[in-house]
Amino acid sequence: MARLSPDDRRQAITDATLAVARRKGLGATTVRDVATEMGTSSGLIHHYFDSMDDVLATAFDEAASRDLARARTAIGDKPSAAAQLDVFIDSYAPVQSDWTMQLWLDAWAEAARRPALQQVSRRLNREWQSLVREIIERGVESGAFATDDADAAAWRLLSVLDGLALQVVAHDALITRDDVVEWTRSAAARELTKGAWHVS
């Protein structure tokens, strides 16, 4: 294969890893899978990464960060905190065969056994929670939302979304993506509205 610069090659490895993980899941992705996907030898991967744990952690970092950045952008456009929350919910809710969510499932399960992956997963989960917390805080400032603990509220909102999304991906057709969106919106309304609330 063509000789690439270290940066390009690392990127190529990460891309190839994600392409494989998309098909087989993170936990089932092997060195040789990645090499075959790139059309190179397997030894090349270890020239750039210390271990398979590193490869998977880097790849997961890339995919999850990309989703996070996309959500941030989509949210940034919206004027009101309520609209921002809707966009967040919409961009997080997975479709039946959502491969990013399957990546998260793998990451959570493998975290106990792969230190590098755990670190990445933990950091990104915290960032998602921060994103939600910031939306809530802005909403409270503008008077649109009411809560006495934005941090806890953000964790609850993110968690209900994680919990529901997980059902869609792991147990396909037990509940649907529409359920996830509707039920999370309903939870957000209960969480952030003072007194009586209305769900459309």
Partner DNA sequence: CGCGTTGTTGGACAAGTGCGCAATATGTGC
Partner DNA sequence: GCACATATTGCGCACTTGTCCAACAACGCG
Binding site for its own copies (CB under 8 A): 24-25, 27-28, 102, 105-113, 118, 121-122, 125-126, 152, 155-156, 158-164, 166-167, 169-171, 174-175, 179, 182-183, 186-187, 190-191, 195-196
Q: Which does 25 bind (CB under 5 to 8 A by kind): its own copies, DNA, none?
A: its own copies
**Cβ atoms 45, 31 nearer than 8 A:** yes
Rounded CA-CA distance 166/189 in Å is 21
Q: What is the DSSP letter of 28?
A: G
Rounded CA-CA distance 105/166 in Å is 7
Helix (H) / strand (E) containing 90? helix 81-92
Backbone angle region of 118, left / alpha / beta, with phi > 0 → left and psi within -120 to 50 → alpha:
alpha
Nearer to its own copies, 8 or 178 (CB): 178
Residue 29 CB, nearest distance to DNA (Å)?
7
Rule CB under 7 A: say whether 5 interacts with DNA.
yes
Residues 13-32 that bind DNA (CB under 7 A): 29-32
Residues that bind DNA (CB under 7 A): 1-6, 9, 29-33, 39-47, 51-53
